[in-house]
Chain A
Amino acid sequence: DTGVSQDPRHKITKRGQNVTFRCDPISEHNRLYWYRQTLGQGPEFLTYFQNEAQLEKSRLLSDRFSAERPKGSFSTLEIQRTEQGDSAMYLCASSLDSGTNTGELFFGEGSRLTVL
């Protein structure tokens, strides 16, 4: 399977714990995005990378959230001191930016976080 893969698919944690999600994009894709989706809402932009450079981070994103893409391949999203409001589906997507971004993203199946 050469699609976008995310791990873990499900995570249940207690409030105050740290969690980390991993995303492996499609291998030739240079852009990687993280989105968050809650029930009844569309994917909400969190951050994105062009290769290893983090180009933008949502201003709505708390400092408890950090993302890395150290070698321009896989990416991790860490949430520190989780809160119940962090419960959501965390979606990773990748795309190939060949000079023009058409907006066509390839999504993984998501990592569902439940904070108790």
Chain B
Amino acid sequence: DQQVKQNSPSLSVQEGRISILNCDYTNSMFDYFLWYKKYPAEGPTFLISISSIKDKNEDGRFTVFLNKSAKHLSLHIVPSQPGDSAVYFCAASTSYDKVIFGPGTSLSVIP
């Protein structure tokens, strides 16, 4: 069973516009939700996270929103830049257990 889902395999956005990446989860026990970014031939790198007790976390151009009732989170990138083109993985964990990753969304930011 896939506990973390990303239903959009790919997304294209014009440079300067907003990128919105979505993620759904099924396990209500998750304590932390994270986004990782991955460039080709590199390992994933941590981007931003949010605790389950919050509904928003912002770090520069990146904001993550959490809707616990809907078991949904999203990553907003504003403004989008060509260097943001990468695969973005949504991930989740409990405070005592392993991290579960979604299948990823490939973002292309078009100059």
Closest 7 pairs between A and B when the two form their complex, measured CB to CB: A107-B43, A42-B101, A103-B93, A103-B32, A43-B101, A103-B99, A42-B103
Residues of B in contact with A (beta carbons under 8 Å apart): 4, 6, 9, 32-34, 36, 41-46, 49, 51, 89, 91-104
Cross-chain pairs A/B with CB under 8 angstroms, 25 sampled: A33-B98, A35-B101, A40-B9, A41-B103, A41-B104, A42-B6, A42-B89, A42-B101, A42-B104, A43-B101, A45-B99, A56-B97, A100-B95, A101-B94, A103-B92, A103-B99, A104-B34, A104-B46, A104-B49, A105-B36, A105-B44, A106-B46, A108-B43, A109-B41, A110-B43
Question: How far is B42's CA from A104's CA once the two chains are assembled, in angstroms?
Answer: 17
User: Are A43 and B89 in contact, with the CB atoms below 8 A?
Assistant: yes
Interface residues on A, range: 20 to 34
User: Are A33 and B99 in contact, with the CB atoms below 8 A?
Assistant: yes
Question: How far is B101's CA from A33's CA once the two chains are assembled, in angstroms?
Answer: 13
Residues of B within 8 A of A43 (CB): 44, 89, 101
Which of the listed residues A40, A42, A105, A109 has the most CB atoms from chain B within 10 Å of its own CB?
A42
Residues of A within 8 A of B4 (CB): 42
Give the number of A-B contacts (CB < 8 Å).
67
- A101-B93, A101-B95, A101-B97 given; A42·B9 CB < 8 A: no
Residues of B within 8 A of A104 (CB): 34, 46, 49
- A77 smallest CB distance to B (angstroms): 15
Question: How far is B44's CA from A41's CA once the two chains are assembled, in angstroms?
Answer: 13
- B73 smallest CB distance to A (angstroms): 13
- Is A96's CB within 8 Å of the partner chain B? no
For residue A47, which residue of chain B has the nearest CB? B98
User: Are B91 and A103 in contact, with the CB atoms below 8 A?
Assistant: yes
Residues of A within 8 A of B51 (CB): 102
Extra 19 A-B pairs, beta carbons < 8 Å, given A42-B4, A102-B95: A40-B9, A40-B103, A41-B104, A42-B91, A45-B98, A45-B101, A48-B98, A91-B44, A101-B32, A101-B93, A101-B95, A102-B93, A103-B32, A103-B34, A103-B49, A103-B99, A104-B34, A105-B44, A107-B43
